[in-house]
Structure 1
Amino acid sequence: MKRLTTVALAALVLAATPGMAIAQDTTTTERQTEDRQVADAERRAEWFATLQQRALEAIEKRLATIDNLETAINDSTTVHDDHASQLLAELRASTAGLETLAGDIRTAEDLATLWELIPDIFEDYRIYAVVAPKVHLVLASDAAGAVAGRLEQATGALGDALDRLEEFGIDVADAEALLVEMKEFVASGASSAASVPGMVLDLTPADYPGSSETLRSAHAVLQSARTDLQAAGDTAHEIVRFIVGALGGHGSG
């Protein structure tokens, strides 16, 4: 009887052993699955936080650039009032929009929402592709126009000086020819500089990427204006040297 009982207990233990192993395997698998899920959730949370932070940093960078552009406009002594007003209004609108977008990104709760918001930083504002180049071109062209204005005044003063020399019997034909060249350079430079704002002021982020070609063309026109005005300045120096030499020669005679 005792032997039968022992055999029966042994049989029960053997019968139960596979089930215990399966139960242990199931528990281990469930635990591993839970661990993976936790790890995945942590990675998603970390990725979300990183993406969110980088998006906010991108906005802050653009807001700082806008501040610098506004300062450049306000500090300019040559920018036209109407140009400044239009540019400043656009910059303020961009600031307001980016600040609103930053708020939306801060309150986003999932990656899907974040992925939807982030492209707006670049596509809706184009601070570096459109806005900043436009501001720089307008400021530079207005500055070139101011230089042209000063050179134009100089042509008048130089012309008067040559007239006085001629009254003293000095041959000023060569200097008069230089003055004609100078006036042509000034007129060309002034015209080129004046055309630049009209090329770029109405560009918006929505015009990208076509705006890039317009900006390149405007930059080329501005460079042409600068070249002409530089030539006008160099010619003015030649005329001044002629006048100084003529006065010296007349005085010694």
Structure 2
Amino acid sequence: MDEPSTRSCAGSWAAEMAIHAVLFDWDGTIVSNDPGAIDLAASAVDAYARKYLGVDATGGDFARAFQSVVPPYTPGETGTSPVIGRIIGEAMTWLGWPCGTNDVEACSRLFFEEHMRHQEVYDDARALLSSLKFRGYRVAVVSNAIFPGHYFATRVNELGLAGYIDSFVSSADVGLAKPNPAPFRRALADLGVEPHDAIFVGDSPVTDIPGARNAGMRAVLLQRNQQVHDRAGFLVIQRLTALNGILGEGTVF
């Protein structure tokens, strides 16, 4: 199925909107999630500790410490967003590892790189981003992430998406997580557009949809490999390319 589930709503949007920007979630929307990514990243930190800190880190040590110090998160809460450097430092302290600021920064980068290594761009995401760029839309990513936004720059480039994304906002930079509207507002400011000139697309009905609407944007829920059901007040799609039908075929130049 490649059509919005609420056809009449899509038609009214096309008539009403003068959209100039499209904002996206990252994990599960633009790139695939790897369920084992955290364990792989933690194992890389264990290896770093054995080599550079002189500790007898066994498999799983850092993973256990990481899970112990990460603040509990309830989907939908609008509290502060944890940051990787603080988590890494607290986990190392929890384990009693000798470490300095440089070690924390090195392990933060290492954790990020290993965590992201196995992510792949969805085919429909690449196709849509290319189309949006060609048609003149501004594009941003708004992600609930423990990593600062500048960490993503290299990875976005490696994935071949640097030319398509104008701003990457991480909740770690803002200090507040979706569905708080603050990360969305940061992205809108980066793009220089008003909420009514943008739409947001994400795969979480708990964080993405209410967060975008709290920021004053229209929202589209992406449900990959799931049965699509009509939802009140927003559209539901199964593939990102369905967004072309919502935006129309023209350019925004």
TM-score, L = length of structure 1: 0.20
Whose Rg is larger?
Answer: 1
Between 1 and 2, higher relative CO (CA 8 Å, sep ≥ 6) is seen in: 2
1 or 2, which has the higher strand percentage?
2
